[in-house]
Amino acid sequence: MFQFPISYLNSNNGSGLLAFGEGKMIQYKFGQAIKGLESFIQENPNEYIFGWLGYDLKNEIENLRSDNTDSIGFPDLCFWIPKYVVELKNENFTFLKGEKCSESLDFISFFLEEETDQNFHSYNFDFKPSISKETYIEQVEKLKNHIQLGNIYEINFCQEYIAENVEIDYPLDVYFKLNSLTKAPFSSFFQMGDFSVFGGSPERFLKKTGDKLLSEPIKGTAKRGKTDEEDEQLKNNLINDPKERAENVMIVDLVRNDLSKIATKNSVQVNELCKIYSFETVHQMISSISCTVEKSTSFTDILKATFPMGSMTGVPKIRAMELIEDHESFKRGLYSGSIGYIHPNGDFDFNVVIRSLLYNKTKKQLSCSVGGAITDLSSPEKEYEECLTKVQRILVGMNE
């Protein structure tokens, strides 16, 4: 078994980036993590840098705290410079960094074999919710009270499912099985020592191309239908649902405000508003917001203006994050954080860590978290059902 770090960013359209091999690395708990990342980027110019950003980095950006139980124990920030970076297109590959040698070709051969082999291992992950349905509904009612008092307008409330005593001997098999269930455009696999991420995210946090930034928040979810007719009806219901559209528009305004902190004058624009995209297990309402930034704007400048992402926090953002901490039962950690990479030219692309499994090999803990937006129009019972819609295919499907 290969022991070096591995990252795979998979678009599920036949292309992806595979990074692997020992290289310089940083890991931090929140405190001085963002400052450490900025130094790491400056000290290693013109490199491919892959990594993750945990949600609790919010405490370095704003005067916030994280006191809830940390079941999974991931570092809040981890970035590394891989020895090899390979672009995959269908079954062809091109080296972007590193050389063809026995080490690199052996791993690529193993990886491609794992990717094409659909004879997955069977698992028995016994996931337990961190809170009961009754507690979930009680907390949503309390958050709705905050909304009615005018403290917030929208908030993302989440819960965690934990499987204990989990031993994963074939992590790539777990990832590719999950990917067969989700087929998401911002799917990811990340293995760093005892920490593994099996990601099925449909959502982009932020992409930079030249001087352009692009954010694509998701707000609004509907299950897929069993027939074409039912599927189309569910899709139309989502398009015309005033609650779902209101959720999405509020987050669009939040993202516009975040981007305006670093954007050049009058460059923030909404490219798409409340467009429906269909994925393997759900329909999603997605908007697209972009802006232009000065070339001197650093990665961490952008991070401090926009992280954590609006779709996983609420409006107004800081008060929503305070109430998230007060009402949720777990430390989010990497969940609702971000995974991605920085290109040698400074461009980058990062997802939102949702619809994902997080594994700590030492603790033998496997975590899967899920949440949704709460507004004044929310029905606590329906919000709970929406969480199940989002997560059920993963929790059940991994054991089939």
CA–CA separation, 235 and 277 (whole Å): 9
Architecture of domain 6-117+124-397: 4-Layer Sandwich (3.60)
- Per DSSP, helices labelled H in 8-69 are 33-43, 58-61
pLDDT at 107: 96
199 phi, psi to nearest 5 deg = -105, 135
**Whether residue 2 has pLDDT greater than 80:** no
pLDDT at 163: 97
CA–CA separation, 341 and 146 (whole Å): 37
117 phi, psi to nearest 5 deg = -80, 110
Residue type, 233: Q
Chain center to CA of 76: 14
CA–CA separation, 288 and 61 (whole Å): 24
CA–CA separation, 366 and 395 (whole Å): 11
The DSSP code for 122 is P
Q: What is the mean pLDDT of residues 283-299?
A: 96
Number of helical (H) and strand (E) elements in the chain, helices listed first: 10, 21
pLDDT at 1: 61
Tens-place pLDDT, residues 384-400: 998 998 888 899 999 98
**Whether residue 340 has pLDDT greater than 80:** yes
Three-class DSSP category at 106: helix
Domain segments of the chain: what residues? 6-117+124-397
Six token digits for residue 101: 């040698």
Task: Measure Cα distances from 361 to 29, 74, 203 in Å.
Answer: 18, 11, 27
DSSP assignment string, 189-253? EEEETTEEEEEEE--EEEEEETTEEEEE-EEEEEEPPSSHHHHHHHHHHHHT-HHHHHHHHHHHH
372 CB-side CA count, 13 A: 27
Tens-place pLDDT, residues 110-153: 999 999 888 898 899 999 999 999 999 999 999 999 999 999 99
Place of tokens 């013109």: 46
Tens-place pLDDT, residues 85-108: 999 998 799 999 999 999 999 999
